[in-house]
Structure 1
């Protein structure tokens, strides 16, 4: 049976160790940083919407396209797919849900710095 433990302190660390001690031969253990939080995700989308409304550098792009632009600028792989029946290409291959909390924090910092440089007025929920 698979078990997941989120290590928030000593109690969870002890539990994780005891699970490993009881694990059968050939069991696989993976330890990784947790992925982005729902609060981080909400903050990013508010910021992307603020940037889309501000149209910095005269760019009229949806929040989704801004997200792809920022992910690409940070070096995350973006794949452009041809649109259906003559529609314009669309970005694919990026998933912020796969980013760790620290990677997501870096993305938010990058978006915030860009917006600040271009005079974006942040909505109440975007920048805290």
Structure 2
């Protein structure tokens, strides 16, 4: 539960819990990576469904229609995912090799910082 103060008194508010509640804390590129993974899983499931239907109807040829369309999409997604991982690694490593988030937590004595929630005028970065 989060605690906020209103005119000198403390008010408890319940945090939303759910399957997708953690997505609000992710940055854009990490959320994009999750969406790309869901897209790739949907493509894999679609290919499996097409193969099952082809076998059920007696078609035993190659499924080039799916391969020709989905191979470039899968390649592009893998390149984007690799760049997202590289970006996250570069952002989270300091010059001496220590992780930036770890160093910030160590400086804050491993206590969660509640001021990162942003304000009414501007959201957190």
Does TM-score exceed 0.5, indicating one fold? no
Relative to total residues, which structure has the larger helix share, 1 or 2?
2
Structure index of larger Rg = 2
TM-score, length-scaled by structure 1: 0.26
TM-score, length-scaled by structure 2: 0.26
